[in-house]
A and B are shown apart, each in its own frame.
Chain A
Amino acid sequence: MSGLLHSIRKRLPGKQWAVISVPYIWMLLFFAIPLAIAFKISFSQAAIAMPPYTPVFDWVDGHLNLNLNPKNYLYLINDSLYVNAYLSSIKIAVISTLLCLLIGYPMAYAIARMDPATRNIVLMLVVLPSWTSFLIRIYAWIGILKNNGLLNNVLMWAGVIDEPLAIMHTPIAVYIGIVYAYLPFMILPLYANLVKLDLRLLEAASDLGAKPWKAFLKITLPLSKAGIIAGSMLVLIPAVGEFVIPEMLGGPETLMIGRVLWQEFFNNRDWPVASAVSIVMLLLLMFPIMIFHKSQAKEMESKLV
């Protein structure tokens, strides 16, 4: 009898299961279910109702009726607005990521080579701006970039330019904003990677005849690949869907999918199309996320051996 009880208990989830389940429940509630709802809405049609779309499932004469409507997705493909918005979002995100990498790599490298006391202070300075509101920091950039803003005033006062540079409401302002906002996300993983680099490897390379820049290309750069990928993903993925920065710093010609999404949802009240836009965006971002995971898994694997 007790043997039977024991074997039943063994098959039931144990206490450790309760601990493990917390993140899964969190994922289910705040990620999987909302996503499923968005996915469902993307197959319905806009309607003047509450909520503003037609139901996908309904009961007619005692059996379930499924009204799948792929029109929203076809609409996205046929209307060049959406395709252009996607392409331009990806372009802006990719260029911003490369800029972040170009600026962030030397910074992370320099921080990793500092002595530990100053290193922590500098790392703190990198993270410090994130302690104020994102919105306020982007607002501050308006003050810097606008025609009679800080930057133009300083440059005109110094006599570098005669008339103000038109940066505000251009793609350049969007790039400045994105690079500024996401730079810490590039620096931190790169730093974490570069600080672990065994300096004796560079000595060995130098000893074997590699000049410093060659040692960097052959040793440091390949060994920091995981940091480069991690940093790039952390910048690229949120930058594609970025809404606040293009809205506040960009002009009418900066087309980004985040803004389109906002307009569909709030201005046009077309929830199904808005849902379809976000589902497609998610699918597009799946590729870089998968690359990221694969590289991480590969790195873990090589460490385990």
Chain B
Amino acid sequence: MNQQSSEKNAVSNSSASATQDGYLVIENVRKLFDDFVAVDNVSLNIRKGEIFALLGASGCGKSTLLRMLAGFEKPSAGRIILDGQVLNNIAPYDQSVNMMFQSYALFPHMTVEQNVAFGPKQKNMPKAEVARRVEEMLALVQMESMAKRKPHQLSGGQQQRVALARAVATSPKLLLLDEPMAALDKKLRSQMQIELVNIVERLNVTCIMVTHDQEEAMTMAHRVAVMDAGKIRQIGTPDEIYEQPSCRYTAGFIGSVNMFEGKVEEDEKDYVTIRTPDLDTPIYVGHGITGYDGMNAAFAIRPEKVHISKEQPEQKYNKVQGVIEEIAYFGSHSVYHVRLASGAKVLCNFVNMRRWDSENYTWNDKVWLSWDDSAGVVLTS
């Protein structure tokens, strides 16, 4: 209780520093359910107008964090500050934070129009203003022709549009998207991802989305936070997260990755070599690390950065021989599962540049795998 009152006093401090950069500030937020730590000391700083994704497997605490932002759950510790205002003890109906639910949660007894009008009406807008607002929102999501329909008469994609229109109808400061594409089929999903981003950017509303689908997070968000066991593992732009994972968890969670566990042999300013039992020669990596000789490290490389050939490559380092064990043919590319002498399995993507290219390699072929010194990263945590 004391803590809560002191939090209120501290509002003035943070509002002064609420710049473009810290529009939404999450400070050391924890959430406990009995003894279970759902969200563990999460701190985030989100810019105005940013689309930010919380990405993680189910049960990682991302939904709990989102529910705290919406006001449905109270943080056990820490503060949530939106536009200089501490949200911790404000009821959901008093905040300017709106959520688009995973199931959309459209009111089944109301028409599309009434659903969208619900928020503005609660804010006691004048009638004409409500009507104008509803019209504007339905135009935004291209649902004007469906205004008089009930939710059950709409397709999944249409319901999502209505849910979005309803959530932004009161011009919230923060828009929350809970697994926005989960209820849509795959084809519609990729189309709606782009459309949703366009709408959110047009409205210039700050947006936090929760998803377990990395593709969705990478296509839609400006920045992504990877969560695991209630903690944030890495924050970055989609390409940073993909190309420069900071730990084994992120590297393994985003996309597919080959990992070679080993020890740092030479730790120089502009390169590192890693001795691993999987390769005869040490792996040469063309970037420095903060570490020391002999420390445990993993070399991570994405399958599309591994080159496959029948002849031995000329380079001295970063090559290994193996046998093709499995082939996954995707049309645009093939993924070869290559078993090394050490027993480790390495995935290698091969882009089928010409027709029938995929026939060059077949099961049990002895092949060479190789990569550039800038193709992979060293992970120390």
Instruction: List the one stretch of B96-104, B215-223, B265-273 in contact with chain A.
Output: B96-104
Interface presence of A302 (CB below 8 A): yes
Query: A198-B105, A200-B105, A223-B108 known; A207 and B122 CB under 8 Å?
Result: no
Question: Complex Cα distance A208/B170, Å?
Answer: 8
**CB <8 Å contact, A205 and B118:** yes
**CB <8 Å contact, B118 and A218:** yes
Question: Complex Cα distance A204/B104, Å?
Answer: 9
**CB <8 Å contact, A222 and B109:** yes
Write the chain B residue with the least CB distance to A212.
B93
Interface presence of B65 (CB below 8 A): no
Q: Which residues of A contact B92 (CB under 8 A)?
A: 203, 206-207
Q: Which residues of B contact A210 (CB under 8 A)?
A: 93, 118, 122
**CB <8 Å contact, A203 and B105:** yes
Interface presence of A294 (CB below 8 A): no
Interface presence of B70 (CB below 8 A): yes
Interface presence of A305 (CB below 8 A): yes
Q: Which residues of B contact A219 (CB under 8 A)?
A: 107
Q: Mark B101-131, 1 if CB is under 8 A from A, else 0.
A: 1010111110000000011001100000000
Write the chain B residue with the least CB distance to A203.
B72
A210-236 interface with B by 8 A CB criterion? 210-212, 214, 218-219, 222-223
Q: Which residues of A contact B332 (CB under 8 A)?
A: none
- Distance to closest chain A CB from B25 (angstroms): 21
Q: Which residues of A contact B122 (CB under 8 A)?
A: 208-210, 214
Return the contact of A206 from the options B93, B153, B166 (Cβ within 8 A).
B93
**CB <8 Å contact, A207 and B150:** no
9 smallest beta-carbon distances between A and B, as pairs:
A209-B122, A204-B105, A208-B119, A200-B105, A206-B92, A206-B93, A222-B109, A210-B122, A209-B93
**CB <8 Å contact, B170 and A209:** yes
Interface presence of A201 (CB below 8 A): yes
- Distance to closest chain B CB from A208 (angstroms): 4
**16 contacts across the A-B interface (CB closer than 8 A):** A200-B101, A201-B107, A203-B70, A203-B72, A203-B105, A204-B99, A206-B71, A206-B92, A207-B98, A208-B98, A208-B118, A210-B118, A210-B122, A212-B93, A214-B122, A302-B108
A109-131 interface with B by 8 A CB criterion? none
Q: Which residues of A contact B94 (CB under 8 A)?
A: 209
A residues in contact (CB < 8 Å) with B:
198, 200-201, 203-212, 214, 218-219, 222-223, 302, 305
- Distance to closest chain B CB from A216 (angstroms): 12
**CB <8 Å contact, A209 and B105:** no
**CB <8 Å contact, B70 and A207:** yes
Chain A binding surface SS class? helix
Interface presence of B148 (CB below 8 A): no
- Distance to closest chain B CB from A281 (angstroms): 34
**CB <8 Å contact, B105 and A206:** no
Question: Complex Cα distance A257/B103, Å?
Answer: 51
Write the chain B residue with the least CB distance to A214.
B122
Q: Which residues of A contact B97 (CB under 8 A)?
A: 207
**CB <8 Å contact, B170 and A200:** no
Q: Which residues of A contact B99 (CB under 8 A)?
A: 203-204, 207
Q: Mark B238-252, 1 if CB is under 8 A from A, else 0.
A: 000000000000000
Question: Complex Cα distance A226/B98, Å?
Answer: 30
**CB <8 Å contact, B93 and A204:** no
Question: Complex Cα distance A177/B122, Å?
Answer: 42
Question: Complex Cα distance A209/B97, Å?
Answer: 9
Q: Which residues of A contact B150 (CB under 8 A)?
A: 302
Given contacts A206-B71, A218-B107, 12 further A-B contacts (CB under 8 A): A200-B103, A201-B108, A203-B99, A204-B99, A204-B106, A204-B107, A205-B118, A206-B91, A208-B93, A208-B167, A209-B94, A223-B109
Interface presence of B152 (CB below 8 A): yes
Question: Complex Cα distance A206/B101, Å?
Answer: 13
- Distance to closest chain A CB from B170 (angstroms): 7
Question: Complex Cα distance A302/B153, Å?
Answer: 9
Question: Complex Cα distance A218/B108, Å?
Answer: 12
- Distance to closest chain B CB from A23 (angstroms): 31
**CB <8 Å contact, B166 and A208:** yes
Q: Which residues of A contact B106 (CB under 8 A)?
A: 204
Q: Which residues of B contact A222 (CB under 8 A)?
A: 109
Write the chain B residue with the least CB distance to A208.
B119
- Distance to closest chain B CB from A7 (angstroms): 42
Write the chain B residue with the least CB distance to A199.
B105
**CB <8 Å contact, A305 and B101:** no
Q: Which residues of A contact B98 (CB under 8 A)?
A: 207-208
**CB <8 Å contact, B93 and A211:** yes
**CB <8 Å contact, B119 and A209:** yes
- Distance to closest chain A CB from B77 (angstroms): 23
Q: Which residues of A contact B103 (CB under 8 A)?
A: 198, 200
Write the chain A residue with the least CB distance to B169.
A208
Q: Which residues of B contact A207 (CB under 8 A)?
A: 70-72, 92-93, 97-99
Q: Mark B262-280, 1 if CB is under 8 A from A, else 0.
A: 0000000000000000000
Question: Complex Cα distance A203/B103, Å?
Answer: 12
Return the contact of B153 from the options A200, A204, A209, A305 (Cβ within 8 A).
A305
- Distance to closest chain A CB from B127 (angstroms): 16
Question: Complex Cα distance A218/B119, Å?
Answer: 12
Write the chain A residue with the least CB distance to B118.
A208
Q: Which residues of A contact B166 (CB under 8 A)?
A: 208
Q: Which residues of A contact B105 (CB under 8 A)?
A: 198, 200-201, 203-204
Question: Complex Cα distance A204/B70, Å?
Answer: 10
B49-108 interface with A by 8 A CB criterion? 70-72, 91-94, 97-99, 101, 103, 105-108
Q: Which residues of A contact B70 (CB under 8 A)?
A: 203, 207
Write the chain B residue with the least CB distance to A225.
B109
Query: A201-B105, A203-B92 known; A305 and B118 CB under 8 Å?
Result: no
- Distance to closest chain A CB from B162 (angstroms): 12
Q: Which residues of A contact B93 (CB under 8 A)?
A: 206-212
Q: Which residues of B contact A214 (CB under 8 A)?
A: 122
Question: Complex Cα distance A212/B71, Å?
Answer: 14
